[in-house]
Amino acid sequence: MKVEMRSLMNELNHYHFRGFAGRSDYPKMAKLIQDISVADDAQIWTTAEDIERDYGHLVNSKPETDMLMVEDGKGDLAAYVRVDWDVDDERRQVFGFPFNLHPTARIPLLYSHLLEWVEKRSREVAAETKAASTSILRAFLRNVEKDAMLQSALEGQGFSPVRFMNRMSRDLNEPIEVPAMPEGLEVRPVPESHYRAVINALDEAFQDHWGHSPIRDADYQAWSSSPVFKPSLWQVAWDGDQIAAGVLNTVDEEVNKQFNIQRGMTDPIFTRRPWRKRGLARTLLMRSLQMFKDMGITEAMLGVDTQNPSGAFALYESCGFKPVMRSVIYEKNITA
């Protein structure tokens, strides 16, 4: 047993642990995320500029104290985690943690070490902030097929699966039938003066969804300054001057370029309570698919909570979407 433990510790000694070094870390972090995306066929692409923009709008996370960086023997960034938190609609302090580990560094001991650090730091922040009486760690397992080791590490550290998600894809070469808009409603462009109002409507509609946390001004500023923020692609239904529903479509040109694809995202999708059960989500979604097809895009994609009580998963399947990736959300109660 002593020999085995010494061997494990020697394995961990191949890595150097340090804090966040500031802007000079952004290119290293971006390269790490890109390497992970390619290895896991995640088809996401993050640049140093993306990270700098996002880190300029952090609210409940201080990189100087809430990040752990891991370098390999060559000095390359092998992993990093960052603790972030928010208070959800159930008045729980929920700690999330972006968890990025290079494929060549995926060893059980390193997974466990990083998760232990995350829990320790989250407990410290919970004690310092006293933001809620209940504290929860929440982890996102992006790809069940690719992240078996992370899944094992989470379960070994006392995390339990609480929600199951799917990434779904729609071939735009398949037929697209666009229903008529419900009587009294219309789709029209969103003027710049109403961008925030649309986000507020989305936020209101999502209060009925599991795990909802309010969209903060910093969240909006980060999104609206992103290259993928393109309100000209939105399909928003209006009832007079009231926002009834919307599909906030995006196209990530950098992802399409890097992976040689033509994809549009039909996500997020929302309908406010007074306008539900009228087929608005289906109509706006099918309008979005037709719009993308007319733009020369060949695939649409979205994410869905498979346990959504509104029946979103069945709706998307009926619109021609098919599951292509399974994800799981894990939680652990760390209330002191």
Q: CA 173, 174, 180, 181 torsion: positive or negative? A: negative
Question: What would the mean pLDDT of 44-73 be, rounded to a whole number?
Answer: 97
Q: CA 26, 30, 149, 3 torsion: positive or negative? A: negative
Contact call for residues 76 and 14 (beta carbons, < 8 A): no
| Share of residues in the chain with pLDDT > 70 (%) | 97
Q: Are strands 134-141 and 92-96 parallel, antiparallel or unpaired?
A: parallel
Has residue 71 got a pLDDT over 90?
Answer: yes
* 161 vs 9, residue with greater confidence: 161
Return d(Cα 47, Cα 44) in angstroms, integer.
10
Return d(Cα 154, Cα 165) in angstroms, integer.
17
Give, in order, the Cα–Cα distances in Å from 331 to each of 80, 130, 142, 159. 20, 19, 14, 5
pLDDT in tens, 216-239: 999 999 999 999 999 999 999 999
Band of residue 2 on the pLDDT scale cut at 50, 70, 90: very low
- Of 231, 167, 123, the C-alpha closest to 115 is 123
Name the pTM for this structure: 0.92
Has residue 3 got a pLDDT over 60?
Answer: no
Surface-to-core class of residue 214, CB atoms within 10 Å of its CB (0-12 exposed, 13-18 middle, 19+ buried): middle
Domain annotation for the chain: domains and CATH numbers? 2-158 (3.40.630.30), 168-327 (3.40.630.30)
Has residue 10 got a pLDDT over 70?
Answer: no
User: Does the N-terminal peptide bond of residue 268 adopt cis geometry, omega within 30 degrees of 0?
Assistant: yes
Contact call for residues 236 and 268 (beta carbons, < 8 A): no
Has residue 336 got a pLDDT over 90?
Answer: no
Surface-to-core class of residue 250, CB atoms within 10 Å of its CB (0-12 exposed, 13-18 middle, 19+ buried): buried
Has residue 310 got a pLDDT over 90?
Answer: no
